[in-house]
Amino acid sequence: MSSADTETPESDAPADDAATTEEEAPPSDELREGLLAEISGFLGDALVESHIVPGRQLYLRVTAESWKETHRVLRDEVGFKFFEFLSAIDWMPSPYGKSEDATADAGVPVTKVEDPGDMEQGFGGGETRFQVFTRLVDITRGDLGVIIKVDVQDPAEFDGADLETLISIFPGANWHEREIHEMFGIRFAGHPYLEKLYLPTGFEGNPLRKDFPLLARHVKPWPGIVDVEPMPDEADESGDDESSDAEGGDDS
């Protein structure tokens, strides 16, 4: 058989390419695509970026100036009346390395790594180290949810409130904003009581910032890595091995 007989005919190549293209085409989500079009009409330039995970989630990133108004629009105009949560994230890689690789767990003083890596924002992108995000739900449309994200300035470098409080629109955001202020230092203009929820009154620093050192690990490595107890099955197997060794010794 000649080599020509074993080669794929040229006429088959376009069909194969078409099949590959069809397989790689992203799935559509008409429900969320229609919802995005509706929301875009209300928000206009306030909508910075969006992303749809078909069948799962719609992500919106809006300007800081429109943060409060966006939530009012989503509640009053679009129907997202159920507030699920509000949280924040510090996208900067930890300057001390990953917890399992940190020098404290090797029994030496904690040191900063020279190059912790680049920031990689999630769906919907981002332009700053810190982001605040909420999730709202429309229970009349089968628990349809939307996540709203906003970039905020580093509170250590920015003098003033970062975002307007949402408690006049969603009162349930009250404690969430207090927690974010406590853990990241992000401020919310108009919040009546940004006091600590978990930490002592005189505690300094914001523990969920990536540049906040866990001082206890300067003194003692993390017990969760150093002191590992065997699981019950492992302990039984270890006991069986010891018994076998002992029996072997008697035979000898």
> Quick check: 116 pLDDT over 90?
no
From the number of C-beta atoms within 10 Å of its C-beta (0-12, 13-18, 19+), residue 115 rates as exposed
Number of alpha carbons in the 13 Å side-chain half-sphere of residue 129: 19
3-class DSSP assignment, residue 36? helix
Contact in structure between 151 and 64 (CB atoms under 8 Å): yes
| Superfamily per CATH, domain 15-221 | NADH:ubiquinone oxidoreductase Nqo5 subunit (3.30.460.80)
Q: Average pLDDT of the chain?
A: 80
**Half-sphere exposure of 238 toward its Cβ, with a 13 Å CA cutoff?**
7
Nearest CA to 72 among 170, 162, 173, 5?
170
d(CA 40, CA 249): 79
- With CA atoms as reference, report the closest residue to 68 among 6, 178, 180, 148: 148
For residue range 203-235, list pLDDT tens digits in order: 889 999 988 876 655 555 555 444 556 667 755
Scanning 50-130, the segments in alpha helix (DSSP H) are 67-73
pLDDT digits (tens, 9 = 90+) for 11-48: 444 455 555 455 566 678 899 999 999 999 999 999 99
CA pair distance 145, 153, nearest whole angstrom: 27
How many CA atoms within 13 Å lie on the side-chain side of 33? Answer: 5
26 DSSP assignment: P
pTM above 0.75, yes or no: no
> Are the CB atoms for 7 and 1 separated by under 8 Å?
no
> Tell me, what's the pLDDT at 9?
44
What six digits make up the tokens of 135? Answer: 């999730």
